[in-house]
Amino acid sequence: MKRLISALALSTALVSPAFAQETKVIGVSIPAATHGWAGGMNYFAQAAITRLEATYPELDFVLSTASDPSRQVNDIEDMLATRNIDALVVLPFESEPLTGPVQAVADAGVWVTVVDRGLSVEGIEDLYVAGDNPGFGRVSGEYMASQMPDGGDIVVLRGIPTTIDNERVAGFEEAIEGSGINILGMEHGNWNRDTSFTVMQDFLSRHENIDAVWASDDDMAIGVLAAIEAAGRDDIQFVLGGAGMKEMIQRAMEGDSMIPANVTYPPSMIASAIEVTALGMVSQTPVSGEFIIGSVLVTQENAEEFYYPDSPF
Amino acid sequence: MNTSAKAPRKVSMGVIGPILALILLVIAGALMNSNFLDWNNISNVLARSAFIGIIAVGMTFVITAGGLDLSVGSMAAFIAGLMILVMNTALPVLGVGIPIVLLGMAVALLAGIVAGLLNGILITRLGIEAFIVTLGSMGIYRSLVTWLADGGTLSLDFTLRTFYQPVYYGGIFGVSWPIIVFALVVVVGEVLMRATAFGRHCAAIGSNDQVARYSAVRVARVRLLTYVMLGLLVGVATIMYVPRLGSASSATGLLWELEAIAAVIVGGTVLKGGFGRVWGTVIGVLILTLIGNILNLTDFVSPYLNGAIQGAIIILAVILQRGRKPGL
């Protein structure tokens, strides 16, 4: 009898802490670091995972980066089949091809957090964390209008033709409506420095006078600045990029008149998503719903808050 | 039957086709925008053609000898990244000046030669398909540059970049260095292709490597040399590329391999090998660059369709020059 009781005591002593510390696995699937913003996102994802693993020993993370949608689907399938994940944080490469596979993960009873790009079917994810693309365009447009109260001629460099790009441009156009700002031309710079450099060279050949440029991204702004510098043109008053690259934030901080401001679209949103998901796994805190991270205007006054010298972006 | 009678006509069509397309493009450009023939615009177009152009000259030899290299874009990105790293590291020791620029250039040329040699050895000594080898090295170099840059961008030290910049933007008599280097590479390439045993051997190997082998051509060595030469030229292109924006990231040189191959084919070189034309490649490069330039100078077509227009013109240029060939 005594033995039975002690055995029972022993087993509960063994079982209950084990139950409390049951390891939960969180899978994180993101696109590979193939451009500046994605590089920053990879950095923030890794930093968040390192921090959370140290804070919560009961959490395990699986991080995978994919260079195209089909590889990302493979990654997610592997996570479900071999790592037994309890939660999935996914930044879909593209919405359409990822919708089915993520749906399957959700159907298997796994918590799903979708970041930045929504899926094509509503209601799959438990948590949605995203930047505000129409807001990104709107804040940029409002800044342009405030800097050019008498109107003026601008050129616009767009990203890769996607819905993200369309939403941003629509937000921008809406914001400058009636301000007297005239868009001389819009071309796709594909969020790429080299392409933007050549597109800007051609804009400079084509237009005698350009008052300002909405480069809509910091990588593109760098190409634009190089083209302006090489052409020796002094009619352009400023270039507005976006997304918060550290070099650009630094220039705004130092009061560079060509780069007076920036509009955030933080790659660190992946860290927000991972943190909130982890919180949902380790506590009773309700975390489902939508979490939209607004685009903020960065100027010389507040630039310091947005400067991350350790990030590669 | 009367192929002998048709032969000169076929050749002349192949010669005229790309030139005709180029002339038509220039006329269209001049009609659409008055700044098109402005020296600034011409100079921009020529200078930006130089990267793909220099690489495409090397690619002409590789393709003529029946090979292919898909790794050149990634290779350029990797070499640019390596060059920036070495120059930044050497900066405290050497300081800003000519020696450090020369060091950077030496690194680029050496890395290009080694990369070309690796591709070439795998292809010629181990007998692996060029397509497979270079598909593999394409992935390797692209990953390496992403890794070197830690997923972000490698940037040349600012003062160093300012010092080095004239290599892209400067020049003599208003002709910038990339244009001059491109012209020199073309002249040397044309002479090599037309007037040397190496050029003839490339064509012989490309048209039939068995026959070439029986004719005492050292097939493996010539093929290896074409890849080394292409690697060296990728190094040369990178030397011109780095001072432009002073940075390298994993998005550098994306799809350059396809642009270079397209330029070679538009210029009249046969994709299966056996016949190559360096000056044709130059026209091919100019055609491809001009299309982009003209589309940026007008609002004539939706920017969504730029790629389609470029694709259509590539196909059209090849149809123009093959017009007289039987449809096989």
Option in B36, B149, B245 nearest A197 (CB): B245
* Chain B nearest-CA residue for A33: B151
Option in A185, A193, A231 nearest B299 (CB): A185
Task: With a cut of 60, say whether residue B3 has pLDDT above it.
Answer: no
**Probe site for chain A from B150, B238, B288 (most A CB atoms < 10 A):** B150
Spell out the domain ranges in chain A.
Answer: 5-132+266-294, 133-265
Token readout for A83 is 């790592």
What pLDDT, on a 0 to 100 scale, did the predictor assign at position B13? 62
What pLDDT, on a 0 to 100 scale, did the predictor assign at position A3? 53
Per cent of chain B over pLDDT 70 is: 93
Token readout for A191 is 């969020």
| Distance in Å, alpha carbon of B196 to nearest chain A alpha carbon | 37
**Probe site for chain B from A205, A225, A245 (most B CB atoms < 10 A):** A205
Containing A96, the helix (H) or strand (E) segment is helix A95-107
- Burial (CB < 10 A; 0-12, 13-18, 19+), residue A286, is exposed
CB B263 within 8 A of CB B290: no
pLDDT band at B271 (very low <50, low <70, confident <90, very high): confident
A36 near B CB under 8 A: yes
What pLDDT, on a 0 to 100 scale, did the predictor assign at position A120? 81
pLDDT band at B179 (very low <50, low <70, confident <90, very high): very high
Spell out the domain ranges in chain B.
Answer: 39-317
* Beta strand pairing call for A87-90 and A111-115: parallel
Q: Tell me what the mean pLDDT of segment B2-22 comes to.
A: 62
Mean of the per-residue pLDDT values of chain B: 88
Looking at 3.40.50.1470, 3.40.50.2300, 3.40.50.970, 3.30.1490.20, the CATH number of the domain A5-132+266-294 comes to 3.40.50.2300
Q: Tell me what the mean pLDDT of segment B11-16 comes to.
A: 65
Q: How many CB atoms lie within 10 A of CB B138?
A: 18
Separation between Cα atoms, residue A299 and residue A304, nearest integer Å: 9
- Classified by CATH at the fold level, domain A133-265 comes out as Rossmann fold (3.40.50)
Q: State which residues of chain A have pLDDT below 50.
A: 1, 7-8, 10-19
Chain A residue numbers with beta carbons less than 8 Å from the beta carbon of B155 are: 247
Per cent of chain B over pLDDT 90 is: 54
A202 near B CB under 8 A: yes
Chain A residue numbers with beta carbons less than 8 Å from the beta carbon of B29 are: none
What pLDDT, on a 0 to 100 scale, did the predictor assign at position B323? 55
- Three-state secondary structure readout of A135-199: HHHHHHHHHHHHHCCCCEEEEEEECCCCHHHHHHHHHHHHHHCCCCEEEEEEEECCCCHHHHHHH
* Beta strand pairing call for B171-172 and B153-155: unpaired
Residue B303: DSSP 8-state: G
Q: Tell me what the mean pLDDT of segment B151-178 comes to.
A: 88
CA A97 → CA A71, A123, A129, B254, distances in Å? 11, 16, 19, 23
Token readout for A218 is 């910091």
CA B309 → CA A250, B291, B292, B303, distances in Å? 40, 8, 9, 10
Chain A residue numbers with beta carbons less than 8 Å from the beta carbon of B254 are: 192
Task: With a cut of 80, say whether residue B77 has pLDDT above it.
Answer: yes
Token readout for B38 is 């402005």
CA-only gyration radius of chain A, Å: 24
| Distance in Å, alpha carbon of B222 to nearest chain A alpha carbon | 34
Closest CA to A38 of A281, A307, A219: A219
- Classified by CATH at the fold level, domain B39-317 comes out as ABC transporter involved in vitamin B12 uptake, BtuC (1.10.3470)
Separation between Cα atoms, residue A140 and residue A146, nearest integer Å: 10
Option in A32, A36, A197 nearest B152 (CB): A36
pLDDT band at B59 (very low <50, low <70, confident <90, very high): very high
CB A248 within 8 A of CB A259: yes
Containing B301, the helix (H) or strand (E) segment is none
pLDDT tens per residue, range B193-227 = 999 999 999 999 999 988 999 988 899 999 999 99
Separation between Cα atoms, residue A69 and residue A77, nearest integer Å: 12
Chain B residue numbers with beta carbons less than 8 Å from the beta carbon of A202 are: 41, 44, 293, 296-297
Higher pLDDT, B182 or B323: B182
- Residue B152 and residue A203: Cβ atoms within 8 Å? no
A254 near B CB under 8 A: no
- Residue B151 and residue A312: Cβ atoms within 8 Å? yes
Higher pLDDT, B323 or A101: A101
**Probe site for chain A from B247, B256, B300, B301 (most A CB atoms < 10 A):** B247
Separation between Cα atoms, residue A295 and residue A263, nearest integer Å: 6
pTM of the shown model: 0.81
- Three-state secondary structure readout of A36-92: HHHHHHHHHHHHHHHHHHHHCCCEEEEEEEECCHHHHHHHHHHHHHHHCCCEEEECC
Separation between Cα atoms, residue B313 and residue A49, nearest integer Å: 49
* Chain A nearest-CA residue for B47: A198
Contacts of B46 (CB under 8 A, 6+ apart): B176, B178, B179, B182
ipTM for the predicted complex: 0.73
Q: Residue B225, CB half-sphere, CA atoms under 13 Å: how many? A: 15
CB B124 within 8 A of CB B66: no
Task: With a cut of 60, say whether residue B4 has pLDDT above it.
Answer: no
- Residue B249 and residue A201: Cβ atoms within 8 Å? no
